[in-house]
Amino acid sequence: MPQHKQEPPGRIPAGGGRRLLLAVSGVLSFVAMLDMSIVNIALADIARDLDVSASTAQWAVLGYQLPVVALLLPAGRWLDGAGLRSAVLVSTAGFAVCGVVAALAPWAAWLIGARIAQGAFGAALFVLMPVLAFRAVPPELRARAMSVPATLGPLGAVTGPAVGGVLLDQFGWRAVFLVKLPLCVAAFVVAYRVMPRDGRLPAPDRRSLSDAGLVGTAVAFLLLALTFAPGAPAWLLLGLAAPPLLVWWLRGPGGRPVAAVLRASGTYAVNAAVLALAAGFAAMHYVVALRLQRDNGFSATATGLTVLAFPLAMGLMGPLGGRLADRYGARVTAVAGAALTTAGLSLLVPLGAGDGWSTADVAWRLALAGAGMGLYGGPAQALVMGAAPPGATATAGSVVQLARSLGFALGPALASATWGFAGPAADGAGAGAALTLAATAAGLAVVLLALRRTPPVPAPPGTTADTAPAARN
């Protein structure tokens, strides 16, 4: 086995090891995002098998999503001072073990506890994967490298229902939690053998835990408000409590370093664009699947195959987006991709009112939107990571991952609220309004990405922004 002690701390060995670790970053991004959606299709079976209500079973999903959102920023600050190899190994092993524990759950409390723990490890993976890809290649190839986790992550989210449906029919709901195990084991072995030893993993401090509590509570209030407001508008008052909690956190010792990185890098608009486009994509996915299956009479199989047009196109265009960004600039490529996604989502709006669309009518529009997402993903992430001050790449990665994860969580909630306020459940006007919301969010992302980076606030000595080409374009 090769000796890695001669490598500088954090430096990825050149050659095949770099390509392997880039693949690891993509695989782990895929499995972490897969868990954001794959369990949804198994909730009815979980509720029946464990003899709980549907609302209790829903925590098999929420139990994962809330820790991911709550821990992303605190985890980024914590992992900036950790050895990358140790962090990747512990996070991958913990994620896999929690999946096995969830699959063995004899009752709901066991399952929810395992999912909460898995969400904590998932948050660490979300932070680490762009950092791993960023360090695995030289500066001139970073946009191309960033396209790997940025493309495979959302691919995991959109293929989750299709993969979960097959597993559910053939093996039952427990297989949904085990499908990721072989990929996690392979990623662990590669990371263990290839990555240089570069430091230990410190224990989380009290500040990180309090930060997670503030952010998690704010997000929980917001999701609860959006979920229940259509039936009882008074729930919107709960959502008003979220912004003060976030402001309190940003002004505290845990949030100030994050705000400093955003000021130094000048990436407020890019992160906002990532959130907007993720919300638009997630809202579209929610509305299209529900509209086709429940209101247009498509079978579950036909719906799943139709929706797969989006990730297939995204996967095909993802590598091209990285190459175009390395050649022509990350910003122009990201804007072009977001504009293409906006066009695809806008063409889907008539689906809300129409009942006669075929699977082909829907699929080519989804493919257009997916192609745009593939072009946009890597370049947008390269804009953020390339502008991060040295020593703060994990924090920068956690911010962009939080923006994306928050968008995925908020999109369906916003679509559901819009649908509910616009009309009855089966009314085409409500579905059309929700799809309009999705297209508008994507259009907002185009505007935000087109904004040129403002001059950064001067940072302390030794923390100047990275000068990689991907960050400047």
CATH number of 255-473: 1.20.1250.20
Q: Check pLDDT > 90 for residue 420.
A: no
pLDDT at 58: 67
Q: Pick the residue with more confidence: 149 or 6?
A: 149
Alpha-carbon span 219 to 229, nearest angstrom: 15
pLDDT tens-place string over residues 241-281: 888 888 887 777 767 777 777 777 677 788 889 899 988 98
Contact 221, 235 (CB under 8 A): no
Q: What are phi and psi of 358, to 5 degrees?
A: -90, 170
pLDDT at 440: 94
- Residue written as tokens 């993720």? 278
pLDDT at 384: 78
Ranges of H-type helices in 136-233? 142-171, 174-178, 181-194, 206-228
pLDDT tens-place string over residues 162-197: 777 777 778 888 988 998 899 999 989 988 888 777
pLDDT tens-place string over residues 298-314: 665 676 677 778 878 88
Task: State the average pLDDT for the chain.
Answer: 77
Q: How many CB atoms lie within 10 A of CB 399?
A: 27
pLDDT-derived band at 113, boundaries 50, 70, 90: very high
pLDDT tens-place string over residues 37-59: 777 667 767 888 888 875 577 67
pLDDT at 159: 73
Alpha-carbon span 317 to 154, nearest angstrom: 13
Residue 146: which residues within 8 A CB-CB, separation 6 or more? 130, 133, 134, 322, 377, 378, 379, 381, 382, 385, 470
pLDDT-derived band at 473, boundaries 50, 70, 90: very low
- CA 160 to centroid of chain Cα atoms: 13
pLDDT tens-place string over residues 332-341: 999 999 999 9
Query: Can you tell me the mean pLDDT for 113-131?
Result: 86
Most confident range (mean pLDDT) of 21-30, 131-140, 370-379, 381-390 is 370-379
Q: How many CB atoms lie within 10 A of CB 312?
A: 18
pLDDT at 4: 41
Predicted structure pTM score? 0.67
pLDDT tens-place string over residues 56-67: 776 787 778 778
Token pair recorded at residue 177: 């939690």
pLDDT tens-place string over residues 123-141: 888 888 877 777 777 666 7
Q: Pick the residue with more confidence: 127 or 439?
A: 439
Q: How far is CA 105 from CA 90, 136, 177, 286, in A?
A: 22, 38, 11, 28
Q: Check pLDDT > 90 for residue 110.
A: yes
Residue 418: which residues within 8 A CB-CB, separation 6 or more? 430, 433, 434, 437
CATH superfamily, domain at 1-204: MFS general substrate transporter like domains (1.20.1250.20)
pLDDT at 7: 39
pLDDT at 328: 84
All CATH 1.20.1250.20 domain ranges of the chain, comma separated, are 1-204, 255-473
Contact 379, 322 (CB under 8 A): yes
Q: Give, for 418, the enclosing helix (H) or strand (E).
A: helix 393-422
Checking phi first, is residue 471 left (phi over 0); if not, alpha (psi -120 to 50) or beta?
A: alpha
